[in-house]
A and B are shown apart, each in its own frame.
Chain A
Amino acid sequence: MVHDYNKLGLKAGLEIHQQLNTSKLFCECPSLLRNDEPSYEVERKLNPVVGEIGEIDVAAAYEESRHKTFVYQVYDTNCLVELDEEPPHEINRDALRIALQICELLNCEIFPVSQVMRKTVIDGSNTSGFQRTVMIAHDGYVEVGGKKISIDAVMLEEDSARPVSRENNKVVYKLDRLGIPLVEIATGPHMHTPEEIKAVALKIGEILRACDVKRGIGTIRQDVNISIKGSKRVEIKGFQDTRMMIKTIDEEISRQKKCVEEKSCRSEVRNALPNGESEFLRPMPGAARMYPETDVPLLKISRELTDEVRRNLPKLSSEHKSYLDEFGLNDELVKLILKGNKVEEFKALAEITSNYDLIVKSLTIFPKEIARKENKILREVEGILNLDVLIEVLENVGKKISVNDVKNVLTKIVEGKGLDEALEKSDINLKGEIEKLIKEKPGLSEGAYMGLVMGKFKGKVSGKEVMDVLKRVL
């Protein structure tokens, strides 16, 4: 323990943003990040906004943004909604369903009615000048180490546009990320040690990954709010990796201790650096101004919908693990299934065959090896070797083909052969061929015969099969 957290009165809360794996929240555009050239660019300005009582928000920030030009790079996977040239479409029902699953797994109360809000954003990262966000649930908890950590609220909202470059008076954004559905989870300030913060972050991460969320760098953003006695709340953004969390928090506590001594504490937003330190980003913004999004109807979340979500909740990976353990798989194979997110496929195939190792291999190892061999992308190979194909192939194990043939058959399918053709046992008389070879070239080593046979029947026979026959004949 680096610090005496109890004595310091450490209080911390988490704010987690997770992208959902659906099309965009208020239009049907795909949530696709692009690195190629945009189709065209649009130039926009932001204006001070007429506020709720007719006053103008004359915040200094507005003055600054007013003289800026925002350039948006538009792709053929964007539409007029992202360009702020068309009203939003109805909220994405798939995204809502996933968000509700997350709320349920976080034991939250779901609002029967809520309203999509416009949260004012003036840095140009939203073409509209606001972010659409809706609070869908409140007052949940996660249990970590026997302690209940409260979840204050869960929001469903739009991701912002990706910044490309910033010059003095010009900021360039890409529109690809704008509008990707995000779930925002805010915990109460109820964590009191860095280990606890990390454990809660990991637990929430596990819950999120049980649902249909995006994976990979940039798809989850975790912010930590930290204060100690006598300091002011500081938000640290940009944790890509929970492994650095404890170190970063300890560094921040040291920094806050120093600022308490120097009486120089201020409420600010800091950016986590890879070495565990953090850098000043900006002063803590005041509460954002919110007003209703009048272009979409009130969001009604029916009891039928929440009941249905509750009945079909996905299992967490810790629950999956204990399920998979029952099949007697070793840890390595269980990990492969969980990592590949293949539990559902495993379940389906376990109905076909009790060779569970073979199932795991067919789902995880073989596709990888075939992809490497055929010089294809894994996703493409997995697309070809989908569940239907695997069912057909595994059903034939012990009938048309043997266990050792599975990888060959799958390879043939990936190479473009039809299922029947691939399953067809090559009508090679292996024994006869090998005997013929030994007659022609007598006195060679086992390995040499092996090489010759394998070379002759490239991929049509498995090495193990050849070896078996060779052993018998020699």
Chain B
Amino acid sequence: MKTKTFSPGDLVSLRTKDKSWQGHVLESYDPSVILLKLKSGYNVGIREGEILDARVTETAKDIKKPEVELVKKKGLRNVVVIITGGTISSRLDSKTGGVIATDVGEILKIAPKIGEICNIVKIESPFMKMSEDMDHRDWKKIAEVCEGHLNDSSIDGLIITHGTDTLHYASAALAFFLGRLNKPVALTYSQRSIDRGSTDASLNLICAAKYAVSDIAEVALVGHKNSDDNICLAMPATKVRKMHTSRRDAFKIVNGEAIAEISSEKFKINREFNARDNSKKVKLDVRYFEKVALIKVHPGQDPSILEYYEKLGYKGIILEVTGLGHVPGKMSQNNWLPKIKRIIDGGIVVCATPQTIFGRLNLNVYSSGRDLQKTGIVFLGDMLSETALVKLGWVLGHKKWNHQEKMLENVAGEVSKC
């Protein structure tokens, strides 16, 4: 009760039976325990009931953060950084014990080498979200911010920082929304937060900056190649997937190859690319139809799930199918074929992607593949399911397009040629 008036951050003096305590009050998860930051730096809990006397010796102060100063060097290309949230832009507020979004400038301070690579002329944050909370509206917002800078002739490239959970959806969306690019767009991230010395953000940001000043006018996801802090890959936006929950090199290229290998010393380009042309403008195409679903087919699954989506007004479904391209068929207790055919006839675009993640579908090897083909399903070759989902939403956003044909067209490198 004596501690009711405490606010997080207050410097307080407490007395228990045989000891007095001084420290800063932190946000406690348990109302019966006062969490205190001692002078030694340790945070400890003291039972409320054991506190005999308590007083605030100093109320919490707001500490002003130092202003970010953007220095411009002659001869360096100009880059804009767009910050959207995620681990790369969150850190702990030790005053209260909560996690807060960082000041936009902090991110660059952890990678001061960027100042030798490019001029950061602007840091912009359309929103701060963890990526699991994002959807196509957020991708659209990012794309719109990008458009402004891409069509500004004084800007040479963009870096976008983003949470990792759904970063590969966002990278695919930007590849479709931004169309033929005139400048590099680098998406990057961190798996270890920037309040620890071992953060991977530092190398990722340096490599993203090197990509942003390169002549590769494509959307790329730039991040650790392996567990070492010395080399990153520029990964194609539609051919990349988060493949690990926690490692630095969580993102892997699937059915494709890196655009470039980047380290502090080197920039090695691996393939032909769409070249920079600052004189050109980009034209955004952000139309999107959100009622699209991704279903993973699994043994014993009831195909009625398709009708559920149909009832909800869905117009597109990506079926993540087994093996070379199969669903439970005629010999199964749950034959999917009639229901797939029926919803396709009813106007839903149904596409198939491999749930093996790696490899390409081939419907001719087994009869079950040939049976599935007869339903009118669109086989998407070696396209990633997540990329396919985003693409389907984008394609269905365009009423006049032939949706089936457009899904098969290689718009942004999403299907690899053999």
Contacts and interface: CB of A to CB of B under 8 A. Distances in A.
A315 B189 CA distance: 53
Contact of B197 (A86, A87, A130, A288): A130
Interface stretch (A5-13, A107-115, A355-363, A420-428): A107-115
A378 to B, nearest CB: 40
Contact of A288 (B35, B41, B65, B95): B41
Q: Is the interface of B mostly helix, strand, loop or mixed?
A: loop
B411 interface: no
A112 B246 contact: no
A48 B247 contact: no
Contacts of B94: 52, 291-292
B197 A128 contact: yes
Interface in A368-396: none
Contacts of B97: 292
Q: Chain A, interface size: which category?
A: 35 or more
Contact of B103 (A54, A112, A113, A155): A54
A291 B93 CA distance: 9
A129 B66 CA distance: 24
Contact of B66 (A54, A87, A135): A54
Contacts of B228: 42-44
**Interface size bracket, B side:** 35 or more
Contacts of A43: 228-230
A133 B38 CA distance: 14
A129 B198 contact: yes
A129 B46 CA distance: 29
Interface string B25-41: 00011100101001011
A452 to B, nearest CB: 69
A60 interface: no
A76 B201 CA distance: 28
Given A53-B65, A80-B247, A122-B197, A298 B41 contact: no
Contacts, number: 147
Interface string A112-126: 111101111110000
Interface string B207-242: 000000000000000000001111000000000000
A130 B95 CA distance: 19
A94 interface: no
B3 to A, nearest CB: 14
A46 interface: yes
A115 B35 contact: yes
B64 to A, nearest CB: 9
A44 B359 CA distance: 33
Nearest to B45: A113
A267 interface: no
A290 B109 contact: no
Contact of B109 (A50, A84, A289): A50
B106 A117 contact: no
B294 to A, nearest CB: 27
Contacts of A289: 41
A45 B203 contact: yes
Given A115-B44, A287-B41, A50 B197 contact: no
B341 interface: no
A85 B44 contact: no
A42 B198 CA distance: 13
B29 A112 contact: no
A31 B63 CA distance: 43
A139 interface: yes
B202 interface: yes
A290 B41 contact: yes
A47 B202 contact: yes
Contacts of A56: 106, 109-110
B95 A52 contact: yes
Contacts of B202: 45, 47
Interface in A399-423: none
Contacts of B248: 85
B373 interface: no
Interface in B36-65: 38, 40-47, 63, 65
A84 B91 contact: no
Given A83-B227, A85-B227, A53 B196 contact: no
Contacts of A134: 42
Contacts of A54: 65-66, 102-103, 106
A67 B402 CA distance: 56
A291 B18 contact: no
Contact of B44 (A55, A128, A135): A135
- Most B C-beta atoms less than 10 A away, residue of A48, A87, A113, A289: A113
A133 B227 CA distance: 25
Interface in A89-146: 109, 111-115, 117-122, 127-130, 133-135, 138-139
A53 B109 contact: no
Contacts of B41: 117, 119, 287-290
Contact of B43 (A129, A130, A288, A292): A292
A442 B192 CA distance: 88
29 contacts: A42-B227, A43-B229, A44-B228, A44-B229, A46-B198, A47-B197, A47-B202, A49-B196, A49-B199, A50-B106, A52-B92, A55-B66, A56-B106, A65-B197, A85-B227, A86-B245, A112-B33, A114-B42, A117-B43, A118-B196, A122-B197, A128-B197, A128-B198, A133-B42, A153-B42, A291-B195, A292-B94, A294-B92, A300-B30
Interface of B: 18-19, 28-30, 33, 35, 38, 40-47, 63, 65-66, 91-95, 97, 99, 102-103, 106, 109-111, 192, 194-199, 201-203, 227-230, 245-248
Of all A-B residue pairs in the complex, the 4 with the closest CB atoms, nearest first, are: A129-B197, A113-B45, A290-B41, A115-B43
Given A43-B228, A294-B92, 5 more contacts: A109-B19, A112-B46, A115-B42, A118-B196, A130-B196
